[in-house]
Amino acid sequence: MKTIYTDTHRLQHGNLELMDGQLLPCFEKPERADLVISHVRASQLGPVLEPQEFGIAPLARIHAPNYLAFLQSAWDAWVEEHGSDHHALPLNWPIRGMRSDIEPEAIDGKLSYFSFDAGTPITPGTWQAVTRSAYVALTAQQWIASGERAAFALCRPPGHHAAADYYGGYCFLNNAAIAAQAFLDQGAARVAVLDVDYHHANGTQAIFYARDDVLVLSLHGDPRQEFPYFLGYADETGLGAGEGFNANYPLPWGTDASTWFAALESACERITAYAPDALVISLGVDTYKGDPISQFLLDSADYPRLGQRLARLGLPTLFVMEGGYAVDAIGVNTVNVLTGFMQA
């Protein structure tokens, strides 16, 4: 299996995020991808390749023009207003009863307008890192479109919390959605996106919610208990033409492997019935029992089983890296999924 990876991810290295009432070092950090690529190479999974360049066009197939313009200019605007000593975080949000239809001019207002949390700092290298992360996904997609059965896009920053015009949850561009759209633009009639990250794929859901050419399925912590809280319920099944093409599997804190794999089986049955031309896996391994910001109980030995089940779907499969914050285990767990898939 080919892995697409670039060291450019290190340009996104936020210094602080707001969590539990504290400004803490960011959980989403370069060490995550560094450890994954180290395990990929040690396992001899296959060649590691640099991403190609794709320009802005495939990003604009998913993301709004004003949002992309904001991401490109945000750091410079922040420095002009606040200097470069601290990375850019939002201050407040347009909650119920406030206007959300007018984009502010000031950078503090723009940050709040386009974000949904205070855990996703914009840094001097954010735009370069997030565009290259999307190019990693697009390059892996190109290999599959050219006949490879599977490929691994080692994306960082991750993407599944980013919607068409907002960021958060460490995500700026939705790599999985950009890749899914590329499959469609190149002739696929239907694509399925299966998100196995601990957190709900709110951005992916929002992007495709009114469409029937992308089936979105997400296994995740119940939003009554878990971030991002405001999407991910089981009754969110799609809108208009998309009705019936969104499936959420919210699971409570303490979910063990038996319960989690039962939900996975249900999702896989939905994928089989949908009969997509390609499958995109948003691969988060923060379902691991030792993850510092998650509450599921999967162990490292469970991840090959995930890969094996996905392989049995018999589809061209693109793995796109999402979450996983137990840094010591993230490489092992990620490679366990991929080797399980290949061995099956």
pTM of the full structure: 0.98
Catalytic one of 39, 87, 161, 220: 161
Q: Could you tell me the CA-to-CA distances from 269 to 152, 186, 263 in Å, in that order?
A: 23, 26, 10
- Per-residue pLDDT, 174: 99
- Per-residue pLDDT, 178: 99
- Per-residue pLDDT, 20: 87
Q: pLDDT band at residue 233, thresholds of 50, 70 and 90?
A: very high
Widest distance between CA atoms in the chain: 55
CATH number, domain 2-53+126-343:
3.40.800.20
Residue 200 among the catalytic residues? no
- Per-residue pLDDT, 343: 95
Q: Once rounded to an integer, what is the mean pLDDT over residues 33-52? A: 97
Q: pLDDT band at residue 216, thresholds of 50, 70 and 90?
A: very high
- Per-residue pLDDT, 234: 98
Backbone dihedral angles phi then psi of residue 184, each to the nearest 5 degrees? -65, -45
CA dist 112 and 105 (Å) reads 11
| CA 30 from centroid of its chain's CA atoms | 16
pLDDT at 37 over 90: yes
Q: What percent of the chain has pLDDT over 90?
A: 97
| CB contact at 8 A, 190 and 315 | no
Our CA angle for 29, 338, 134, nearest 5°, is 50
Q: Once rounded to an integer, what is the mean pLDDT over residues 301-309? A: 98
Q: Once rounded to an integer, what is the mean pLDDT over residues 31-60? A: 98
| CB contact at 8 A, 126 and 75 | yes
Q: pLDDT band at residue 237, thresholds of 50, 70 and 90?
A: very high
pLDDT in tens, 173-209: 999 999 999 999 999 999 999 999 999 999 999 999 9
Q: Give domain limits for the chain.
A: 2-53+126-343
- Per-residue pLDDT, 121: 98
pLDDT at 251 over 90: yes
Q: Once rounded to an integer, what is the mean pLDDT over residues 144-173? A: 98
pLDDT at 29 over 90: yes
Q: Once rounded to an integer, what is the mean pLDDT over residues 258-263? A: 98
